[in-house]
C-alpha cells in the first residue's frame, strides 16, 4: 500500500509535448480516476506511471521511492489492460501465477494467493481453462485476478470495461469498486466514460489536451465545474451555455459575478413549472420531445439565440413540437464562466 | 508503435548467427561472383586481368548462351502453364465436391515431397526407351521414342517431370484462393443469370487473379532454379544442349568446363533476373489478397 | 434432394468432378506407385515392359537384398548411412533455420537498436541470392573453410533463410502490444518473454515451418552435389543419381527401385502425416 505522487510530469515525443506538466497526489488507498476525451493524454499518463512509457521530465513517486527510471516490474504495480492481455496459451491459474513465479514466490504462497483471488472473483471453477474458453466478463475477472494476486502497491486500470457490453459493464463497475474497497489498494483508473468516472472515483482528474482541468471529488466536479470544458464534459446531456447578456432582464442575476460573460445551466435545472422563490424565466420553443422511459429530453430553441438547449424533466409532459415554453431556473443553479479564460468566474 | 524491450547488446547477439551465415555464404560469394565477372583468368590460374564488361559481351554474344536462354524460356513457360492449368482444373473440381476433399488432397500433395531430381528419375523410369512402361505403348504406336537421343522428346520429358512435381504446390494455393472468394458473390452472379461456365470466367477467375499472379512468379522462379536437379539427373542438358537451362549452364561452364569469368558473368545475369522477379513480386503482390 | 445449394454442382456435376479428380490423382500418384511396384518385381520383369500394375512377389527378396548390402555394392556406401546422412542434414537444416530465424525476427520486432533496419534488409536481400546464382564462388568459400565433405558444409550455407525470418516477423507483429506490456509488468525480461510467451504462441508456426524445411532439406540436390566428393557423405538423392546409368547393362534396377522408394518415402510420410501443418506452412509462408 502506498501513495502515488506525480509532480510536474511532462511527456514529449520528439519536439511535440503531449503532457504539459501534470501534478497529482494520490493518497494511500484512494481510488483516482483519470477522465477525458480520447487523445487527452490520460492513457499516456497511466502508462508512464506503469513504466511502459518513459517520463520526459518531472518526478514520479510510488510510496517514498522515485520510480522514474525503474522497469515496470520493479515498480510494485499491477495493471489491468483494455483488452485484458491474458496469455492465451496459459491456463487461468498460470495466468494468475505468472507474475508471482517470475518474482520467485514459493509454490505454496502462489497457490494460496491464486486460490484467494479466485474465490474473491468467483473464477475458481475456471482455473484450468484457457482464456479463449471464457466469456468477456470472465476474462475481465481473470485480468483483475492477475493484478490482485500480486498484492501490489497500486493498481492501474486502462479502460478495463470498454470491451464489455453495457449490462456487464455496469455489473463489473460495481464489482471493481467493491473489490477495491475490500483490499484497499491505491488505484489509478483511466476511462473516457464520465459515468464510470463519477461512480467509481474517490477523486477524479479531468484531463484535456495534456493539461489537468480539475481535480476533485465527483460531487465537487459535478456541482462546481472549474472550467467550461469540465462543465461540458461531465454530465449528460451536457450543460447548456447561455450568454449572460441574454439573461439580463429575465430574473435575478446577483449571484453571477460581474466578470462572467457566459453561464452554464444543467438540463436538469431547467424546469417547466415555476419553482417557489426567486428564479429566472427563459422563453423558448420546443423543437423535439424525446421520451426516454421515466424521463424526457426536450430539445428547445431559446428565443433570440441560435444554439439549441436541452431540458431534462421527469415524466412525459403532454407537449406538441413547436409548443411555446417558459423555462425556469433558480439563481443557485447558474454556473458563471469567463469565456476568454475558460475558467469559472 | 510497437512495444519493445530496452536492451543494448542482446539484439545484436540475437541477429548475429543469421547475419554471420548470410555474410559468409551469401554476400561474400555474391561479391566474388561480381568481382570475378569482370576479370579474365589465364587457363593456369596464374594471371588475372581486368576486362570490364568483356565477359558479359562474350556471354551475351555466344550462340550457346542464347540457345540456353531460349531453352529456359520455353521450358519455364511450358512448365508454369502446364502445372498451373492442371492444378487449377483440379482445384476447381475439389471445390465443387461435397465429400472426399481431404482424401483427394492427400493424394495430390505427394509430389511436393519428392526431390526434383528424383521426380526426373521417376519420369525417366517410366519413359526410358529400354524398359519404360509408358515408353512401350508409344513405341507400339510407331513413335520413335527416345528422349535420350531426341531433343524435343527430352524437353517434353523434363517439362512433364517438372510440371508434375509442381502441381501439388499450385493445387494447394488455388484451393486456398478459391476458398477465399466469398460465396455470396457467386450467388449474386447466379441471381444475375450467369451460368456455371460464365460464372467461372467472369467472377471466379478474375477474383483468383492475385493467386494466379503470385503462382506465376513462384512457378517461374521454380522453373528457372529449382529444376536443376531434373535436368542434371535426366538429360544432363542434352541431347546436344537441347535442354541446357541457364542454371545448368552456369554449373556446367563453371564446374565442368572451368570457364570462371564466363560462369561468373552468367551468375551475375541470373542474379539480376532473380532480383527483378523478386522486386516484381513484392511490388505487385505485397498489397494483396490474403490466402486462407 | 441432391442439389445442395443453388450454386453448388448438381448430382451429375458432382460425379463429373469426382471423375476428373480421380483421373488427376491417378496421373499424379502413378509415378510413385510405379516405382513402388517396380521395387517388388525381379530385375527380369522390370526390364521386360510393360510392368504389371500390381506389386509382385519379389518385394521381400529385393528389400532384404538392398538393405543387406546390395546398395552398398552399387553405391559404395550402406543404405543406413545414406538415410542417416539425409535425415540428419534435413533435420539440422530445419532446426537450424528455425533457430536463427526466430531469434533474428525476435530482435527485429521486439527491440529498437541502431542498424536494425540495415540488418533487416541484409537478411531480406538474401532472398534474391539463391545458391544457384552463386555456385562457383560459394564452392570456393567452402573449400577455403575446409567444409567439403563435412556435415557443416552440407548444412550451414542452407540455414540462412529470409523466408522463415519474414514469416516469424509477420507473426510477431500480430502479437498485441499489451501482451508484452503485461509480461513486463509481470516481471518477465526478454528471455522469459521469449521462452514463456513467444515460443509457445509460435508452436504451430514452428511445426508448420519444420515440415516445409525438412522437405526442403531432404530434397536438396545442387548443394550436396557440390560439397560432397566422398560417397560416405552422400545424401540418398545424390547416391541414387550415381546408381543410375542407362548405358550400363548391368545396373541392378530392382535395387535402384528399392533405393528410390526409400528416398521418397520419409518425406512423403512427413507431408501426409503432418498434412495440417504442411498446408498451413506452405500457404502461409507464401514461399
Q: Are residues C83 and C43 in the same domain?
A: no
Q: Is C20 part of the contact surface with chain B (CB cutoff 8 Å)?
A: yes
Query: Average pLDDT for residues A51-69, to the nearest whole number?
Result: 92
Q: Is A79 part of the contact surface with chain C (CB cutoff 8 Å)?
A: yes
Q: Are residues C30 and C135 in the same domain?
A: no
Q: Contacts of residue C190 in chain A, CB cutoff 8 Å?
A: none
Q: Are residues A150 and A223 in the same domain?
A: yes
Nearest to B14 among C31, C103, C184 (CB): C103
Q: Are residues C107 and C197 in the same domain?
A: yes
Would you place residue A1 in the very low, low, confident or very high pLDDT band (cuts 50, 70, 90)?
A: low
CB proximity under 8 Å: C 79-108 to B: 99-101, 103-104, 106-108
- What pLDDT score was predicted for residue B44? 65
Q: Is A102 part of the contact surface with chain C (CB cutoff 8 Å)?
A: yes
Q: Search chain C and give the residue with CA nearest A103.
A: C187
Round the average pLDDT of chain C to a whole number and report it: 85
- What pLDDT score was predicted for residue B291? 32
Residue where one domain finishes, among candidates C73, C95, C124: C73
The enclosing domain of C160 has a CATH number of 1.10.3720.10
The answer to whether position C103 is within a domain reads yes
- What pLDDT score was predicted for residue C2? 36
Q: Is A29 part of the contact surface with chain C (CB cutoff 8 Å)?
A: no
The enclosing domain of A111 has a CATH number of 3.40.50.300
pLDDT at A33 over 90: yes
Tell me the pLDDT of chain B (292 aa) as tens digits: 567 787 778 999 999 999 999 999 889 988 888 888 888 776 666 777 788 788 888 888 889 899 999 999 999 999 999 999 999 999 999 888 888 888 888 888 889 999 999 999 999 888 888 888 888 888 888 888 888 888 889 999 999 999 999 999 999 999 988 988 888 888 888 788 777 888 888 888 888 888 888 888 889 888 988 889 999 988 888 788 888 998 898 888 888 887 778 888 888 888 888 888 888 777 765 544 333 2
Cβ atoms of A164 and A136 closer than 8 Å: yes
Phi, psi of A39 (to 5 degrees): 85, 5
Task: Choose, out of C187, C191, C196, C204, the residue to mutate when testing the contact with A (most A CBs < 10 Å).
Answer: C187
Q: Search chain B and give the residue with CA nearest C24.
A: B90
Q: Contacts of residue C188 in chain A, CB cutoff 8 Å?
A: 73, 98, 102
Q: Search chain C and give the residue with CA nearest A94.
A: C196
The answer to whether position C46 is within a domain reads yes
- What pLDDT score was predicted for residue C3? 40
Q: Are residues A197 and A93 in the same domain?
A: yes
CA distance C22 to chain A (A): 40
The answer to whether position A342 is within a domain reads no
Q: Contacts of residue C203 in chain A, CB cutoff 8 Å?
A: 89
Task: Choose, out of C177, C179, C185, the residue to mutate when testing the contact with A (most A CBs < 10 Å).
Answer: C185
The answer to whether position C3 is within a domain reads no
Nearest-10 crossing angle of helices C116-125, C162-173: 130
Q: Model confidence over C207-244: pLDDT tens digits?
A: 888 998 999 999 999 889 888 888 888 899 988 888 88
Query: Average pLDDT for residues C151-159, to the nearest whole number?
Result: 90
The answer to whether position A235 is within a domain reads no
Residue where one domain finishes, among candidates C36, C52, C73: C73
The answer to whether position C5 is within a domain reads no
Q: Are residues C31 and C138 in the same domain?
A: no
What percent of chain A lies above the pLDDT cut of 70?
100
Residue where one domain finishes, among candidates C73, C88, C110: C73
CB proximity under 8 Å: B 130-169 to C: 130-133, 135-137, 148, 164, 167-169
The answer to whether position C1 is within a domain reads no
- What pLDDT score was predicted for residue C8? 61
Per the CB < 8 Å rule, is A50 touching C181? yes
Residue A60 domain boundaries: 4-230
| Fold of the CATH domain B53-285 | MetI-like fold (1.10.3720)
Query: Average pLDDT for residues C174-196, to the nearest whole number?
Result: 91
The answer to whether position A344 is within a domain reads no
Q: Are residues C99 and C63 in the same domain?
A: no
What ipTM does the predicted assembly reach? 0.86
Q: Are residues C65 and C150 in the same domain?
A: no
The answer to whether position A111 is within a domain reads yes
Q: Is C218 part of the contact surface with chain B (CB cutoff 8 Å)?
A: yes
Q: Are residues C182 and C95 in the same domain?
A: yes
Q: Model confidence over B63-94: pLDDT tens digits?
A: 989 999 999 999 999 999 999 999 999 999 98
Q: Are residues A267 and A298 in the same domain?
A: yes
Q: Are residues A64 and A206 in the same domain?
A: yes
Q: Are residues C52 and C91 in the same domain?
A: no
Nearest to C180 among B3, B21, B172 (CB): B3
The answer to whether position A47 is within a domain reads yes
DSSP string, chain C: ----SSSS--HHHHHHHHHHHHHHHHHHHHHHHHHHHHTTS-HHHHHSSSPPSS--S-HHHHHHHIIIIIHHHHHSS-HHHHHHHHHHHHHHHHHHHHHHHHHHHHHHHHB--TTHHHHHHHHHHGGG--GGGGHHHHHHHHHHTT-TTSHHHHHGGGS--HHHHHHHHHHHHTS-HHHHHHHHHTT--HHHIIIIIIHHHTHHHHHHHHHHHHHHHHT--HHHHHH--SGGG--HHHHHHHH--SS-TT--HHHHHHHHHHHHHHHHHHHHHTHHHHHHHHHHH--
Q: Are residues C106 and C243 in the same domain?
A: yes
- What pLDDT score was predicted for residue C248? 67
For C105-160, what is the HEC assignment?
HHHHHHECCCCHHHHHHHHHHHHHCCHHHHHHHHHHHHHHCCCCCCHHHHHHHHCC
Residue C29 domain boundaries: 11-73
Q: Model confidence over A137-170: pLDDT tens digits?
A: 899 999 999 999 999 999 999 999 988 888 889 9
DSSP string, A88-157: TTS-HHHHHHHHHHHTT--HHHHHHHHHHHHHHHT-GGGTTS-GGGS-HHHHHHHHHHHHHHT--SEEEE
Measured distance CA(C39)–CA(C255) in Å, rounded:
7
- What pLDDT score was predicted for residue C247? 63
Per the CB < 8 Å rule, is C240 touching B172? no
Cα-to-chain-centroid distance, residue A281: 34
Q: Are residues C108 and C205 in the same domain?
A: yes
Task: Choose, out of B1, B14, B88, the residue to mutate when testing the contact with C (most C CBs < 10 Å).
Answer: B14
- What pLDDT score was predicted for residue C287? 39
CA distance B208 to chain C (A): 15
Q: Are residues C45 and C130 in the same domain?
A: no
The answer to whether position A343 is within a domain reads no
Q: Contacts of residue A79 in chain C, CB cutoff 8 Å?
A: 181-182, 185
- What pLDDT score was predicted for residue A147? 92
The answer to whether position C63 is within a domain reads yes
Nearest to C184 among A73, A87, A103 (CB): A73
- What pLDDT score was predicted for residue A337? 94
Q: Are residues A84 and A150 in the same domain?
A: yes
The chains in contact with chain B, meaning 3 or more Cβ pairs closer than 8 Å, are: C
Q: Which positions ≥6 away from C170 have C-beta within 8 Å?
A: none
Conformation bin of residue A277: beta by default, left when phi > 0, alpha when psi is -120 to 50: left
- Per the structure, the count of domains in chain C is 2
Task: Choose, out of A46, A47, A72, the residue to mutate when testing the contact with C (most C CBs < 10 Å).
Answer: A72
- Per the structure, the count of domains in chain A is 2
Per the CB < 8 Å rule, is B4 touching C111? yes
Q: Is B247 part of the contact surface with chain C (CB cutoff 8 Å)?
A: yes
Q: Is B240 part of the contact surface with chain C (CB cutoff 8 Å)?
A: no
The enclosing domain of A328 has a CATH number of 2.40.50.140
pLDDT at A93 over 90: yes
Amino acid at each position: 500500500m502506498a501513495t502515488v505522487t506525480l509532480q510536474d510530469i511532462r511527456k514529449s515525443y520528439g519536439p511535440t509535448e503531449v503532457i504539459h506538466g501534470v501534478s497529482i497526489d494520490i493518497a494511500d488507498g484512494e481510488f483516482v480516476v483519470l477522465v477525458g476525451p480520447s487523445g487527452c493524454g490520460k492513457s499516456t499518463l497511466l502508462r508512464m506511471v506503469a513504466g511502459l512509457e518513459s517520463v520526459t521530465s518531472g518526478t514520479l513517486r510510488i510510496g517514498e521511492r522515485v520510480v522514474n527510471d525503474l522497469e515496470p516490474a520493479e515498480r510494485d504495480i499491477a495493471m489491468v489492460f483494455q483488452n485484458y492481455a491474458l496469455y492465451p496459451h496459459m491456463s487461468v491459474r498460470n495466468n494468475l501465477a505468472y507474475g508471482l513465479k517470475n518474482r520467485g514466490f514459493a509454490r505454496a504462497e502462489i497457490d494460496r494467493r491464486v486460490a484467494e483471488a479466485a474465490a474473491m472473483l468467483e473464477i475458481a471453477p475456471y482455473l484450468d481453462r484457457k482464456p479463449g474458453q471464457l466469456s468477456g466478463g470472465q476474462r475481465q475477472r481473470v485480468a483483475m485476478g492477475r493484478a490482485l494476486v500480486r498484492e501490489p502497491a497500486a493498481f492501474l486500470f486502462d479502460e478495463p470495461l470498454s470491451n464489455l457490453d453495457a449490462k456487464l459493464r455496469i455489473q463489473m463497475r460495481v464489482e471493481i469498486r467493491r473489490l477495491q474497497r475490500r483490499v484497499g489498494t491505491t488505484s489509478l483508473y483511466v476511462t473516457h466514460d464520465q459515468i464510470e468516472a463519477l461512480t467509481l472515483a474517490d477523486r477524479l482528474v479531468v484531463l484535456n489536451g495534456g493539461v489537468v482541468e480539475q481535480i476533485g471529488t465527483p460531487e465537487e466536479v459535478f456541482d462546481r465545474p472549474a472550467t467550461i470544458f469540465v462543465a461540458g464534459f461531465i454530465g449528460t446531456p451536457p450543460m447548456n451555455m447561455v450568454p449572460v447578456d441574454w439573461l439580463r432582464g429575465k430574473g435575478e442575476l446577483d449571484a453571477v459575478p460581474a466578470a462572467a460573460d457566459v453561464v452554464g445551466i444543467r438540463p436538469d435545472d431547467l424546469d417547466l413549472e415555476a419553482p417557489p422563490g426567486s428564479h429566472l424565466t427563459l422563453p423558448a420553443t420546443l423543437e423535439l420531445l424525446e421520451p426516454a422511459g421515466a424521463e424526457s429530453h426536450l430539445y428547445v430553441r431559446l428565443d433570440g439565440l441560435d444554439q439549441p438547449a436541452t431540458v431534462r424533466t421527469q415524466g412525459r409532459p403532454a407537449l406538441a413540437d413547436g409548443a411555446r415554453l417558459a423555462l425556469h431556473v433558480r439563481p443557485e443553479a447558474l454556473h458563471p464562466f469567463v469565456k476568454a479564460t475558460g475558467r469559472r468566474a | 508503435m510497437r512495444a519493445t524491450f530496452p536492451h543494448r547488446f542482446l539484439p545484436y547477439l540475437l541477429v548475429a548467427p543469421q547475419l554471420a551465415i548470410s555474410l559468409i555464404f551469401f554476400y561474400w560469394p555474391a561479391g566474388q561472383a561480381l568481382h570475378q565477372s569482370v576479370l579474365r583468368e589465364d587457363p593456369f590460374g596464374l594471371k588475372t586481368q581486368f576486362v570490364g564488361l568483356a565477359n558479359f559481351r562474350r556471354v551475351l554474344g555466344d550462340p550457346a548462351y542464347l540457345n540456353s536462354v531460349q531453352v529456359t524460356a520455353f521450358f519455364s513457360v511450358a512448365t508454369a502453364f502446364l502445372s498451373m492449368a492442371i492444378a487449377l482444373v483440379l482445384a476447381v473440381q475439389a471445390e465443387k465436391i461435397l465429400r472426399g476433399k481431404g482424401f483427394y488432397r492427400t493424394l495430390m500433395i505427394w509430389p511436393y515431397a519428392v526431390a526434383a531430381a528424383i521426380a526426373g528419375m521417376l519420369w525417366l523410369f517410366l519413359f526410358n526407351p529400354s524398359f519404360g512402361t509408358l515408353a512401350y505403348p508409344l513405341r507400339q504406336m510407331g513413335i520413335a521414342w527416345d528422349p535420350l537421343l531426341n531433343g524435343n522428346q527430352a524437353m517434353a520429358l523434363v517439362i512433364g517431370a517438372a510440371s508434375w512435381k509442381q502441381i501439388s504446390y499450385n493445387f494447394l494455393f488455388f484451393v486456398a484462393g478459391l476458398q477465399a472468394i466469398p460465396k455470396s458473390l457467386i450467388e449474386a452472379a447466379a441471381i444475375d443469370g450467369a451460368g456455371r461456365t460464365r460464372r467461372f470466367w467472369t467472377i471466379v477467375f478474375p477474383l483468383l487473379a492475385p493467386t494466379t499472379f503470385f503462382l506465376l512468379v513462384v512457378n517461374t522462379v521454380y522453373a528457372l532454379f529449382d529444376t536443376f536437379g531434373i535436368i542434371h539427373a535426366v538429360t544432363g542438358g542434352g541431347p546436344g544442349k537441347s535442354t541446357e537451362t541457364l542454371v545448368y549452364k552456369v554449373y556446367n561452364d563453371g564446374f565442368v568446363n572451368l570457364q570462371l569469368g564466363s560462369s561468373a558473368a552468367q551468375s551475375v545475369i541470373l542474379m539480376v533476373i532473380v532480383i527483378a522477379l523478386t522486386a516484381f513480386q513484392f511490388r505487385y503482390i505485397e498489397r494483396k489478397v490474403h490466402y486462407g | 434432394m441432391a442439389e445442395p445449394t443453388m450454386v453448388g454442382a448438381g448430382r451429375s456435376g458432382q460425379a463429373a468432378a469426382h471423375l476428373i479428380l480421380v483421373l488427376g490423382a491417378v496421373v499424379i500418384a502413378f509415378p510413385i506407385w510405379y516405382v513402388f511396384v517396380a521395387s517388388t518385381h525381379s530385375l527380369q520383369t522390370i526390364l521386360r515392359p510393360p510392368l504389371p500394375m500390381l506389386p509382385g512377389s519379389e518385394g521381400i527378396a529385393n528389400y532384404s537384398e538392398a538393405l543387406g548390402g546390395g546398395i552398398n555394392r552399387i553405391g559404395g556406401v550402406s543404405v543406413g548411412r545414406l538415410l542417416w546422412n539425409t535425415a540428419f542434414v534435413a533435420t539440422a537444416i530445419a532446426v537450424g533455420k528455425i533457430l536463427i530465424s526466430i531469434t533474428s525476427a525476435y530482435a527485429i520486432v521486439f527491440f529498437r537498436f541502431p542498424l536494425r533496419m540495415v540488418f533487416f534488409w541484409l537478411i531480406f536481400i538474401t532472398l534474391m541470392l539463391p545458391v544457384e546464382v552463386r555456385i562457383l564462388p560459394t564452392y570456393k568459400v567452402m573449400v577455403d573453410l575446409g567444409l567439403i565433405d563435412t556435415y557443416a558444409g552440407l548444412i550451414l550455407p542452407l540455414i540462412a533463410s529470409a523466408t522463415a525470418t519474414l514469416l516469424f516477423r509477420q507473426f510477431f507483429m500480430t502479437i498485441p502490444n499489451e501482451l508484452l506490456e503485461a509480461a513486463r509488468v509481470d516481471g518477465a525480461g526478454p528471455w522469459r518473454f521469449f521462452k514463456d510467451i513467444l515460443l509457445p504462441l509460435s508452436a504451430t508456426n514452428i511445426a508448420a515451418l519444420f515440415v516445409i524445411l525438412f522437405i526442403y532439406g531432404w530434397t536438396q540436390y545442387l548443394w550436396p552435389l557440390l560439397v560432397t566428393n566422398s560417397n560416405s557423405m552422400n545424401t540418398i538423392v545424390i547416391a541414387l543419381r550415381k546408381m543410375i546409368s542407362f548405358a550400363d547393362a548391368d545396373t541392378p534396377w530392382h535395387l535402384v527401385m528399392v533405393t528410390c522408394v526409400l528416398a521418397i518415402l520419409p518425406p512423403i510420410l512427413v507431408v501426409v502425416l503432418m498434412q495440417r501443418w504442411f498446408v498451413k506452412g506452405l500457404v502461409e509462408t507464401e514461399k
